[in-house]
């Protein structure tokens, strides 16, 4: 997905290359169809480069503020009963009953807009869980978006709840790595962006380490299931990267689960380590105790506890292929609000929704209604973003959705290494490619391929 975003001139692949501190190709022992580029990225470098790029991006103005309400123009005013009937309408049959005209900030300021894209992440009605404690938030230390949930309900959208979680953060200076297997980065590295041949930190990649849970850890988790309100089956969490509680519960016969200790950046920027594989919502004291039962973590200091997040999402069958909503003309949605999970899924949807909102904004209402205005729409055969969109709008979701190679019947031709050949020309035809060097590079690749095939 990141390669497909990059092929259409999105930023996240380039930023990952500039801030990447370890690069690996997963599944390298298998065929190219399932090769998965992966990078550990320094948070400080990534955020700095991304902010700098956005602040100087031609045609883009950034305004900070919290959106409390979506402003709609209805052809007729609807009473409460009419709104209830609207909300009960089948998602797949929903039709437009309003047009977006802007947003209202919590400050009361109104921003007028013909097109609006909502990318709320886990903040929409977000609630954090640590043990038996629950409080409104979308991410530790940041406020949830409560008013926007009500605004969407009032517009007729049916909201569901999903949950995800994050592991505790550890002080890497208190970890004993001496008994742990190392995981080194690839050399040479494989950049995410098609316009990069290498990356700045290719020669000083960080080392990741492997450890594992123990039977004692599992016993402690089992003994404290009643100490977490997050463990309930009524709200679905991600099946493919489950919490530690879920793994202990679901795979009770297993005596250990792998944990990857991943530095969050270069040593000069942070000593924080992300223990991939032990996302959990246990009380803080329980987390500290079981962490010290893990080999190599006997003296570890936890700098932030793990926690769970519950949040609202919209049934993605409410969406068109452009990610415009069927109920509200001019309103687009991308990311977790559509029932997906993962940064890459969110980035890919954001590009598609943003591109279509922009394309529609510069064309007349008549052109858009007659579908004469250009649109960025992708089929399953076009790539993984096409698979993602098709799955969402036709099947809906009953758990947080992630993309895997197994989801695509075209995975032999939709490889990570040919996203530019599949998508760059299409994006250029819509005016999405700003970098002429990208097209020149693609010309060279296509000429070399034609020469090799001659």
pLDDT in tens, 117-173: 999 999 999 999 999 999 999 888 899 998 999 999 999 998 999 999 999 999 999
Alpha carbons 83 and 379: distance in angstroms, whole number = 34
Position 86 pLDDT exceeds 60 = no
Return the structure tokens found at 273: 């380590």
Alpha carbons 146 and 137: distance in angstroms, whole number = 9
Residue 392, H or E segment: helix 384-395
Q: DSSP string covering 147-164, please?
A: HHHHHHHHTTPPEEEEEE
The predicted structure's pLDDT at residue 302: 98
Alpha carbons 335 and 5: distance in angstroms, whole number = 14
Strand order of the β-sheet with 169-171 is 182-183, 208-212, 258-263, 272-276, 169-171, 302-304
Beta strands in 94-198 (DSSP E): 98-105, 110-112, 116-118, 127-130, 133-136, 159-166, 169-171, 182-183
Return the structure tokens found at 196: 């990069």
Taking the mean position of all CA atoms in its chain, how far away is CA 443? 31
Is the backbone peptide bond immediately before 188 cis, with ω within 30 degrees of 0?
yes
Average pLDDT over residues 221-233: 83
Please answer whether residues 222 and 36 qualify as being in contact, where contact means their C-beta atoms are separated by less than 8 angstroms: no
Packing angle of the helix pair 436-453, 419-429 (nearest 10 deg): 130
The predicted structure's pLDDT at residue 271: 97
The predicted structure's pLDDT at residue 376: 97
Return the structure tokens found at 39: 């990078």
Q: How is residue 360 annotated by DSSP? A: H
pLDDT tens string 353-392: 999 999 999 987 767 666 678 999 999 999 999 999 999 9
Return the structure tokens found at 292: 């010290």
| Higher pLDDT, residue 32 or 78 | 32
In the predicted model, what is the mean pLDDT of the chain? 92
Q: DSSP string covering 31-51, please?
A: -GGG-EEEEEE-HHHHHHHHH
Residue with token string 């080392």: 207
Alpha carbons 171 and 452: distance in angstroms, whole number = 52
419, β-bridge pairs: none
Show contacts of 361-365: CB within 8 Å, 24+ apart.
361/114, 361/115
Q: Which residues of 189-198 are buried (b: 16+ CB within 10 A; e: fewer)?
A: bbbbbbbbee
Please answer whether residues 403 and 380 qualify as being in contact, where contact means their C-beta atoms are separated by less than 8 angstroms: no
The predicted structure's pLDDT at residue 432: 96
What ranges in 96-206 are assigned the alpha helix state H?
147-154
pLDDT tens string 169-214: 999 999 999 999 999 999 999 999 999 999 999 999 999 999 999 9
The pTM assigned to this predicted structure is 0.92
The predicted structure's pLDDT at residue 364: 72
Average pLDDT over residues 282-308: 97
User: Residue 105, SS3?
Assistant: strand
Residue 174 CB: number of other CB atoms within 10 A? Answer: 15
Alpha carbons 190 and 419: distance in angstroms, whole number = 14
CA distances, 283 to each of 130, 201, 228, 238, 309 (Å)? 6, 38, 7, 21, 14
């Amino acid at each position: 997905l990141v390669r497909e975003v990059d092929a259409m001139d999105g930023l996240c692949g380039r930023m990952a290359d500039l801030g990447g501190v370890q690069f690996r190709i997963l599944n390298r022992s298998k065929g190219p169809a399932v090769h998965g580029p992966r990078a550990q990225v320094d948070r400080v470098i990534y955020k700095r480069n991304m902010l700098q790029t956005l602040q100087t991006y031609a045609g883009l103005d950034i305004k900070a503020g919290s959106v409390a309400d979506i402003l709609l123009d209805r052809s007729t005013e609807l009473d409460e009963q009419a709104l209830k009937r609207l909300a009960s309408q089948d998602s797949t049959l929903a039709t437009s009953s309003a047009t977006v005209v802007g947003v209202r900030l919590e400050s009361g300021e109104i921003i007028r807009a013909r097109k609006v894209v909502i990318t709320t992440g886990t903040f929409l009605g977000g609630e954090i869980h640590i043990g038996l404690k629950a409080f409104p938030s979308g991410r530790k230390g940041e406020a949830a978006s409560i008013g926007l949930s009500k605004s969407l309900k009032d517009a007729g959208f049916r909201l569901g709840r999903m949950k995800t979680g994050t592991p505790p953060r550890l002080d890497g200076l208190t970890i004993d790595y001496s008994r742990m297997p190392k995981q080194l980065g690839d050399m040479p590295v494989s950049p995410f962006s098609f316009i990069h041949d290498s990356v700045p930190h290719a020669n000083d990649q960080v080392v990741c380490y492997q450890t594992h849970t123990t039977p004692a850890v599992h016993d402690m988790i089992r003994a404290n299931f009643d100490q977490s309100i997050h463990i309930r089956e009524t709200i679905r969490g991600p099946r493919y990267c489950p919490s530690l509680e879920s793994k202990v519960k679901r795979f009770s016969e297993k005596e250990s689960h792998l944990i990857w200790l991943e530095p969050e950046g270069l040593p000069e920027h942070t000593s924080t380590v992300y223990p991939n594989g032990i996302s959990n919502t246990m009380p803080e004291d329980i987390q500290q105790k079981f962490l010290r039962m893990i080999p190599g973590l006997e003296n570890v200091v936890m700098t932030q506890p793990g926690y769970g997040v519950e949040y609202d999402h919209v049934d993605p069958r409410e969406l068109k292929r452009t990610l415009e909503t069927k109920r509200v003309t001019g309103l687009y949605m991308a990311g977790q609000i559509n029932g997906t999970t993962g940064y890459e899924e969110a980035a890919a949807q954001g590009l598609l929704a943003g591109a279509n909102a922009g394309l529609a904004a510069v064309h007349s209402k008549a052109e858009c209604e007659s579908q004469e205005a250009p649109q960025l729409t992708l089929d399953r055969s076009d790539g993984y973003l096409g698979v993602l969109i098709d799955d969402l709008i036709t099947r809906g979701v009953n758990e947080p959705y992630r993309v895997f190679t197994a989801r695509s019947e075209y995975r032999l031709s939709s490889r990570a290494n040919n996203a530019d050949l599949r998508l760059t020309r299409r994006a250029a035809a819509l005016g999405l490619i700003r970098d002429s060097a990208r097209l020149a590079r693609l010309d060279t690749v296509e000429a070399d391929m034609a020469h090799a095939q001659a």
